[in-house]
A and B are shown apart, each in its own frame.
Chain A
Amino acid sequence: MILRAQGLRKAYGRLQAVDDVSLEIAAGEIFGLLGPNGAGKTTVIKMICTLTRADAGTVRINGHDIRSHALQARGALAVVPQENNLDGELSVVDNLRIYAALRRVSVAPNRIRQVIGEFGLEDKARVPVQKLSGGQKRRVMIARVMLAEPELILLDEPTLGLDPSIRREIWNIIMQIRQRGTAILLTTHYTDEAESLCDRVAIMSRGRIRHCGTPQELVAAAGSFVLETAAADGCRVFRLFGDRDAIAREIGMEPPSGQYTVRAARLEDVVAAVETGS
């Protein structure tokens, strides 16, 4: 296992932001952490990358405990945080140079130029990072971790707020990273992203992991079909059922007043069900 996290907890004052979270990620696996705002996803990422101290629990990266062997553990992992943490006054090239030096990867200048090219940042190479757009900054942050070539990459909301073409681009980059055997832990709000990228996902809500498995497993466990009805106030109501017969029985007992739809369930329906607490 590249990542083994056990019993992680973190409280901020009275708020239990993360409550007994355990995760395991194998080499080359893409693992998705899904959940609504405030579920505790970022807190989990920060505890794994040693930025936030857990109140309880252990994390091992490639066998190195993040407390007792912090430097080895940090060396095996790289993180792209949710919020930009580049040196805004410095150019793209300088940010990459510093990162390479900090990671102790001796990179030839042409390797930096190559990464800049791969991420389509050639004409911004000498521009101070604070003058880039949000999507360009995100690309710099991902380019940065590519220099380090770690065994595990943590991506906190890698595509949040990006336009569809850049999102696809970043998906491609993520698939390429996996091809090299690098494991990825990513958080996202987008269920389509999780479905198309992740080998396994965990659905978090209020600090806990509620479900964990492959996207197909989660859908099958929660109910493969959705009954979509309109409530009296016009809101759509979604309910998950194990099979069509169960839906037929439900409709027989309590016929919907308006129009209704029956369709195959998606991961989105499972996540929504967890969020509404049903």
Chain B
Amino acid sequence: MNRFVDLILGIRAVLLREMLLLKVKVGRFGYVFYSLMSPLIYLAAFGFGFGSRVRFDGVAYELFLIQGLICMTSMNNAYNLVMTSVSFGRLSSKSFQSLITAPVSPVAIMAGLVLSGMLRGFIAALVIVGAGTLLFGVFALSWLSVLALLLNLMFFASLGVVVGLMIRDMESSALIMNFFIMPMSFFSGTFFPIDSLPGVLRGIVTLFPLAHTNIIMRAPALDKPVLVSVLVLLLATLMAGGAGVRAMSRYSE
């Protein structure tokens, strides 16, 4: 019981710090622009450009696009917030030292960081949902897509912690962005179905967690293939979470 209270208080403290840091950042125009403007531009450009003349999987393109952008935007926001916060705190401001030397368990630090990333990614996703409704009169959320969104947020926030703990300098974060996150966001079914890809590429893409988010996001019902995608994301989250806790408890400068 006591340990549970400790855990909750630890999570709360970590979350408080992230939220205060986020509040400062949101005040800067460039920050909001970077995290929300580009998906909104994609939404308007491709949405008006192709409109309902194009249909994928029997769905009007607007809906397809909005759902893809929810996946992509939530990924980017959850991952980036946490990755930047951890790596900046470790390598630049050194304020990560205050977390690591506090009487807060690695599990609580991990959970607090992941929750903060999820929260920000969730808000960004809601902006996309709202924009989709306003611009195209399409409300994109079903209960399955909310599940997809939560799984996506949880995995990419956890990945953000792990990458933030591992990188040696701030430059390598750009490398990971350009070689992993960027291609993933374009090929995982955000703008067009994965089926349009040639066989080999399709095989590679099914290894991308974001591809599974897209599958769940657009599924009409929780059938067997969708369940597989859910399990893949859960497993990936478990692995990232475990790696994060492990790296945190072995932390040494």
Contacts and interface: CB of A to CB of B under 8 A. Distances in A.
Given A85-B94, A85-B98, A98-B98, A51 B104 contact: no
A38 to B, nearest CB: 17
A98 B104 CA distance: 13
A101 B95 contact: no
Contact of A89 (B21, B99, B251): B21
Interface stretch (B12-20, B33-41, B136-144, B182-190): B12-20
A16 interface: no
A167 to B, nearest CB: 23
A104 B253 contact: no
B253 A46 contact: yes
B97 A87 contact: no
Contacts of B24: 89-90, 128
B196 interface: no
Contacts of A85: 93-95, 97-98
Contacts, number: 81
Nearest to B93: A88
A74 interface: yes
Interface stretch (A29-37, A75-83, A249-257): A75-83
A101 B253 CA distance: 24
Contacts of B17: 87, 98, 101-102
Contacts of A79: 101
A86 B89 CA distance: 9
Tell me which of B12, B24, B102 has the highest count of chain A C-beta atoms within 10 A of its own C-beta. B102
B88 to A, nearest CB: 10
Interface in A76-120: 79, 81, 83-90, 94, 97-99, 101-104
Nearest to A84: B94
Contact of B105 (A71, A81, A94, A103): A71
Interface of B: 6, 9-10, 12-14, 16-17, 20-21, 24-25, 89, 93-95, 97-105, 250-253
